[in-house]
Structures are given as C-alpha cells and as structure tokens.
C-alpha cells in the first residue's frame, strides 16, 4: 500500500472515531434497554482512543508526524487572542458564568424548569454553548490562568505596582525658627 493511501486511511480512522464519539447523545433517546445503552455509551466513549491508535498504526511514523504537525499548525492559527480589553474581559466572564443560572434554577426552583419541559434541555444546551463561547471571548491569557488552576506547581506572580506620584511634603523651611 502506498504511503499516501495509508495516510488517507489513517486520517479516516482518526477523524471518524472522534466524530463517532460526538454522536453518542442520540443513544439516550433510543427505546433500548439500559444494558444496551450502557454498552454503546462505553464503546463510544473509548472509540476516539482506539481509532486514533489504529489510524496512527496504519499511517506509519512519518505520515503520523506529518499529520500531527499540520493539525498543530491549524490549531495554533485559531488560537484565541492573548491580550483583551477590560470590556471584552467582563463580557467573557459574564458569558462564562451565565450557565450557573439555569443550573441553580434546576437545583433550587425545579418547578421553573421541570423535567418534562423541552425548555429545560434547550436552556442547558444554550448555557453550555454560551460558556464555551465565553472561553474564546476571554482570550488566550484566560486559558493560561484556567490551566494554572489545575497545575499544582503554578504560581501567580504579583501584579506590578502602578507608579504613584511621590507625595510632596511641605517644606520645613523656617520650622526651626
């Protein structure tokens, strides 16, 4: 088999297995027994890892490295901006924290979003999408801060002090008189 054909088959395994993982939500709505659903959830949960291993094995080392480097270059291009304005930061924080509202409503006022309401599902999907969008609005620096939350050795350097004008004390000329 030619290297280009192996590359295409490997990419198909990698992308197909990762896309298959994203389709596992429909299992919940199927009229199957709990055992069948649990089995399919488990299979779909591990599909990306298995598919990526199979894809890498089919591709070979050279093709996998080429694929990995090109994928990393694409992801670097769509990376969020580093420095954001104060307004954008506040908007992003609002978007990031807004999903707490429907979660608290479900916990403390379940009659406002009952289990049988289609609005409950729509509100939760919208809240999750807003939260994910908020992460991008917050920018790359926030991603670094978020990563530092989960890194035990991360340290936050103190913020630089703003230059304050020196206080001018009244001259003491003639005070000794």
Domain coordinates of the chain in residue numbers? 1-78, 80-154
Structure tokens at 25: 């939500």
The predicted pLDDT at position 81 comes to 63
The CA–CA distances, whole Å, from 25 to 21, 28, 127 equal 9, 6, 17
Structure tokens at 172: 């003491």
Q: Are 40 and 24 in contact (CB under 8 A)?
A: yes
The predicted pLDDT at position 11 comes to 92
pLDDT averaged per 10 residues, the chain (length 177) = 90 90 80 90 89 92 90 78 79 86 79 74 83 83 77 74 59 54
Q: Are 91 and 137 in contact (CB under 8 A)?
A: yes
The predicted pLDDT at position 156 comes to 67
Helical packing angle, 3-22 and 61-77, nearest 10°: 50
């Amino acid at each position: 088999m030619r290297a280009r054909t192996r590359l295409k088959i490997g990419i198909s395994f990698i992308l197909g297995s990762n896309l298959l993982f994203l389709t596992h939500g429909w299992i919940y709505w199927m009229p199957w027994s709990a055992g069948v659903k649990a089995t399919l959830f488990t299979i779909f949960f591990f599909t990306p890892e298995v598919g990526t291993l199979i894809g890498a094995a089919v591709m070979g080392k050279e093709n996998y490295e080429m694929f990995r480097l090109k994928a990393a270059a694409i992801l670097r291009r769509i990376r969020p901006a580093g420095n954001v304005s104060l307004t954008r930061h506040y908007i992003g924080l609002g978007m990031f924290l807004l999903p707490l509202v429907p979660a608290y409503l479900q916990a403390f006022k379940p009659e406002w979003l009952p289990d049988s309401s289609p609005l409950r599902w729509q509100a939760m999907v919208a809240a999750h999408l807003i939260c994910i969008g908020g992460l991008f609005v917050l920018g790359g620096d926030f991603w670094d801060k978020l990563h530092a939350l989960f890194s035990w050795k991360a340290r936050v350097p103190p913020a630089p002090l703003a230059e304050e004008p020196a206080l001018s004390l009244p001259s003491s000329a003639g005070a000794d008189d």
